[in-house]
Amino acid sequence: MIAPRRWQAVKDFFYGMTGYVFVRHAQEMKHEAEAIFLLVTLGDLAGVPIMPPIYSLRLLPHVAPEIVKWKRQLARRKDFWEKEEYDLHGI
Amino acid sequence: MNALIAVILGIVTVYLTYTRYARRIDRDVIKSDPKRATPATLYMDGVDFMPTNRNILFGYHFKSIAAAGPIVGAIVAATLWGWLPAMLWLIGGVAFMGWVSDYSAIVLSVRNEGHSLSAVAHRLISPRTRTILFLFIFFYLLLVAGAFVGIMAQVMESQPRTHLGMILLVVMGLLLGQMLYRWRIGLIPATLLTVGVTLAAIMAGGASEGIFKGLNDAFNGLTGGAPIVTYFDPTLANFKGADAKIMPSLLFWAVAISLFCYAGSVLPIWRMAQPVVYVGFWITALAMLLGLGGAALGTIIKPELAQFQIPMFKGWNPQMGPAGVMPLWPMLFVTIACGAISGWHALFGSVGTARQIENEADMLPVGAGAMLAEFLLGLLALLAISVGSKGPPVAAFANGLGGFISVWGFPLQYAVSLAFAAFIVIVLVVTQLLFRVMRVTLTEWLGEIIPPLRNQHFSSFLSIALAILLVMTGTWIYLWQLFGAANQLMAALSLLLVTIWLVSVGKNWLYAGLPMILMYLTTVASVLVTAYNLYFNVYLPNLEAGRTLPAVGSGLMVLMALLLVFASLFIGIDGCRAFFKYLGKPASAARPAVAKG
């Protein structure tokens, strides 16, 4: 009988080899969509001059937790080999 | 020698390396501190920087580094020098260098705010290092793409039973992408359907063999059975040298593979590249797991299947003759790259894995653990080629692995089909990704100077055309060795960077510095040997025979070899300067430790 912790570790290992890559990619796609949405609605927070619509204020409480991450992403310039295309999935 | 002893030897190597050497370095030199905040926790953005459980990350990193390299390298090396040198290098390489390179690249990135190797090189060595790395990476990719397309086209031309499985693999990959991202079907049912159908097609390959054989014959009939290109290859006919003939059917399969790679390069990654890799992973993983277990069990159940058939040692330079020189040192050490030590792992680990490390205590199990697991994959490939003596190297590998799989009760014919498919699948899925990376590299490197390269279709086409040129005109073994040398040089450069960083923070640098010196000298020497072989044994004979295309191809490879040498010399000189600069006055640590609550 395998101990529950060991069994969980094996499951995590297989998840890392299989489903994790899809989850990461889905997160990236979601993040890209969110980044555009935030830029359009709250661009002035990142220094992009947009007319603040009334809806921005209504959205603000919902997106507030994401703002710090979003600004951090905008500020960080990626090196080209940090792009997704460089994930060779083994060689 | 039999497979069980080799498996036990491999497991003992992994255990001793991890517990007696790697843990000591982690504890005494790196001093990993579970309380120190990692970039993943400091800069979490939910995408690139994401604290991840160590077991998940181990699986992710292992899958990201383990593919065709350890398999092809072991097959070629065992054929050239015998199984003993190949096994000794696999064991020695991973124990003293391989894990060091992978683990240290992750440490370097984690301790430098998650920066990539190039960013750290820019800071610690010199700004031009980044530019030279572009050159390095592009030619590295071109060489490996040429080597992989070449071997796949050869195998697919000679093994029509594999075609149905490969076609269904692509179709099922496309279907999987659609199911997951558009139809929102769960991963488990989607996996069962797509992997199941692909497996069924692989097993049914024998039934469709006649159709594809007829197709090959029809293509060859277009030229009346005459080859399109003929070139002198000194590595043929057991290294006595013979004319290699590129038949129309081989060109057809090379073009078909290239079209597949082109689609993988330009389509959104979720549409084709990612799901095809996923389906391919299951096929290969299944074959490898059954094979590894079968290798151990085979000794007891079917001892005749587990006995080594190829010579133990063929000599220090067994291929004297038209092939010129193929000395064990330095050529063995670049023929087997992944499985022993690989530069690409370091590059990937520093940007992909390091930013997901949740806790510094995870760096060792993830970095070193995944490399040691990849070594077992290389060892399995070596076992398969060592016991399967029939036919050319890839066929011998498939026969050997098929024999191991058949220990579980599968009919040998189906087991060999699965083994062939596992080999082609793993090479095929990596090749499509290679062209994707080449396209991005070309655009980033030369897009400003040559604007058409910013067009993804043009840059993909150019990358594929260059690789096909190498396939049509190069000599495969030399092409593979040049790729291995470029890969190992990258490993040496990453170790150089780690060494300089260790000196700069006042730590003992010997554990990374000594492997770096050995790999640097070995790989530069191997590139020079390959350039010599190519020039005198391929370029000149073909030029004298008036065969322009092969002369151009081999001349291009000589040029690439020399460029790699010059690039590594520049980085080496800059690295030496930086090393001695920091040796005198170590700088303070890159980032002060931040205690967690």
Q: What is the DSSP string of A41-75?
A: HHGGGGT------HHHHHHHHHHHHHHHHHHHHHH
Q: Do A80 and B444 touch (CB under 8 A)?
A: yes
Residue A54 forms contact with B (CB below 8 Å):
no
SS3 of residue B531 by DSSP: helix
| pLDDT over 90 percentage in chain B | 29
Measuring CA to CA, which residue among B385, B336, B591 is closest to residue B487?
B336
B365, B58 in Cβ contact below 8 A? yes
CA B278 to chain centre: 17
Task: With cut-offs at 50, 70 and 90, classify the pLDDT of residue B390.
Answer: low
Q: What is the DSSP letter of B352?
A: I
The per-residue pLDDT of chain A, averaged, comes to 77
User: What's the gap in Å between the CA of A84 and the closest CA on chain B?
Assistant: 9
Measuring CA to CA, which residue among B116, B44, B39 is closest to residue A72?
B44
A86, B273 in Cβ contact below 8 A? no
CA distance A28 to B47: 6
**Which residue among B59, B144, B439 places its CB closest to the CB of A16?**
B59
Give the pairing of strands B242-246 and B229-233.
antiparallel
B210: pLDDT strictly greater than 50: yes
Ranges A64-73, B182-191, B254-263: which has the least confidence: A64-73
B367, B105 in Cβ contact below 8 A? yes
Structure tokens at B444: 């980033």
- What is the end-to-end Cα distance of chain B in Å, rounded? 55
Helices (H), B29-82: 39-42, 54-65, 68-81
**Which residue among B58, B281, B282 places its CB closest to the CB of A13?**
B58
pTM tops 0.90:
no
CA distance B528 to B458: 33
B436, B112 in Cβ contact below 8 A? no
Quickly list DSSP for B139-157: HHHHHHHHHHHHHHHHHHH
B90: pLDDT strictly greater than 60: yes
* In the block, residue with structure tokens 């090959």: B216
Q: Where are the domains of chain B?
A: 3-584
Task: Determine the residue of chain A that is closest to B267 in CA distance.
Answer: A85
Reported as a single tens digit per residue, the pLDDT across B317-355 is 876 665 567 889 998 998 898 889 988 888 778 877 898
Q: Do B65 and A81 touch (CB under 8 A)?
A: no
SS3 of residue B205 by DSSP: helix
CA distance B196 to B176: 12
Reported as a single tens digit per residue, the pLDDT across B424-479 is 888 888 788 788 888 877 887 788 888 888 888 998 899 888 888 887 766 788 88
pLDDT on residue B593? 44
Measuring CA to CA, which residue among B350, B553, B551 is closest to residue A86?
B350
Q: Do A79 and B118 touch (CB under 8 A)?
A: yes
B509, B496 in Cβ contact below 8 A? no
Measuring CA to CA, which residue among B445, B527, B511, B465 is closest to residue B100?
B511
Contacts from A62-70 at CB under 8 Å and sequence distance 24+? A63/A38, A66/A34, A66/A38, A67/A38, A67/A42, A69/B44, A69/B45, A69/B46, A70/A34, A70/A35, A70/A38, A70/A46
Q: Do A82 and B116 touch (CB under 8 A)?
A: yes
Measuring CA to CA, which residue among B310, B323, B130, B297 is closest to residue B232?
B323
| Residues from chain B contacting residue A87 (CB–CB below 8 Å) | 64, 348, 352, 433
The dihedral built from the CA positions of residue B511, B516, B522 and B523, taken in this order, carries a sign that is: positive
Task: Determine the residue of chain B that is closest to A88 in CA distance.
Answer: B433
Residue A83 forms contact with B (CB below 8 Å):
yes
Residue A27 forms contact with B (CB below 8 Å):
yes
Q: How many residues does chain A have?
A: 91
Q: What is the mean pLDDT of residues B242-260?
A: 86
CA distance B406 to B558: 44
pLDDT on residue B364? 96
Task: With cut-offs at 50, 70 and 90, classify the pLDDT of residue B590.
Answer: very low
pLDDT on residue B543? 87
**Cβ partners under 8 Å of residue B235, min gap 6:** B241, B319, B323, B475, B476, B477, B478
pLDDT on residue B30? 95
